[in-house]
A = this chain, B = another copy of it.
Amino acid sequence: MKLATLRDGTRDGQLIVVRRDNAVYAPATGIARSLQAALDDWDAVEPKLRELAARIDAGTVETRPVDVTKLHAPLPRAYEWVDGSAYLNHVRLVRKARNAEPPPTLETDPLVYQGGSGDLLGPTDDIPLRDPAWGCDFESEICVILGDVPMGATARDAARYVRLLLLANDVSLRNLIPTELAKGFGFFQSKPATAFSPFALTPDELGPVWRDGRVHLRLRTTLNGTVVGDVDAGPEMHFSFFQLIEHIARTRRFTAGTILGSGTVSNQDRSRGISCLAERRMIEIIESGAPKTPFLQHGDRVEIEMFGPDGRSLFGKIDQKVVPA
């Protein structure tokens, strides 16, 4: 089942069910007014949404064409946005880029940060950048939306908490990171609003490519029309989503609608390309002594998309332009 959120003038938008081919939708009128409302009461709401999805497939309900420019993020505001950094190749490269050591517990203790969740960008929303000197970068990621997670949840039982999957562009301001992290309290100004893909999918929609808490597909990132990354999201996700859930739930519980990210998808095989510019700049430093690729400038366009085994776009496309703010 594919869900999305239509802009309707309200803060949370209107929940819609989208056909598998992304072409048409039907509003979830009378079932749940928003995706958050559906997640709040998932056990009761999910069967009704699935029934609507079946009617869309059968052509027995009125549908309208999908226009992704009319879509919010599936959750335009969320109660938490927690982002991991589960691809260790990314951690190693990016820390090298800022002359920082990876933590000694890199392979045993997941890195996660608490992101801002009150203002999330839709898939075609511009990235407002007040100062290009801040070093704006994209980060292409996979995310899960969780149901209620109790404190002490374990990786073994974590599959049950995964309600939906989607993609994110975890926009970062690279040149603000070193001084901010030096203060010791983590990211804040260096992480502006994150953008999300048009569609959020129930795990069954992915079939066997969703296994062991990882998505075994490639994530494609395009910069100004050129594919810069076609990176395998599966094997190199060192900590699975299930392990990340166990990690975050060690000392507290999470409410339905929490979004949990994988961190920048990254492969050791450099021919796969990159999911953020910081990695490319580090590779340039290693190979030629200096970075050649600039960070994002006003007018730059970033697209992020993932295709299923049948070649179909699973989550729709994040397609954003950097603009002055």
Contacts and interface: CB of A to CB of B under 8 A. Distances in A.
Interface of A: 11, 40, 77-80, 82, 85, 100, 103, 105, 109, 111-119, 128, 130, 134, 151-152, 173, 176, 179, 181-193, 247-248, 250-255, 257-258, 325
8 contacts: A100-B184, A103-B183, A111-B183, A117-B117, A130-B250, A189-B247, A190-B251, A192-B251
A254 B118 CA distance: 6
A116 B119 contact: no
A130 B150 CA distance: 12
Nearest to A255: B118
B77 A77 contact: no
A99 to B, nearest CB: 12
Main secondary structure of the interface of A (DSSP, over half): loop
A264 B103 CA distance: 28
B151 A113 contact: no
Given A79-B79, A109-B183, A152 B188 contact: no
A323 to B, nearest CB: 12
Contacts of A248: 188-189
Contacts of A325: 151-152
Most buried by B among A85, A152, A184, A192: A184
Query: Top 10 closest A-B pairs, CB basis?
Result: A186-B186, A79-B118, A118-B255, A80-B118, A113-B185, A114-B114, A192-B252, A103-B183, A192-B251, A189-B251
A118 B191 CA distance: 19
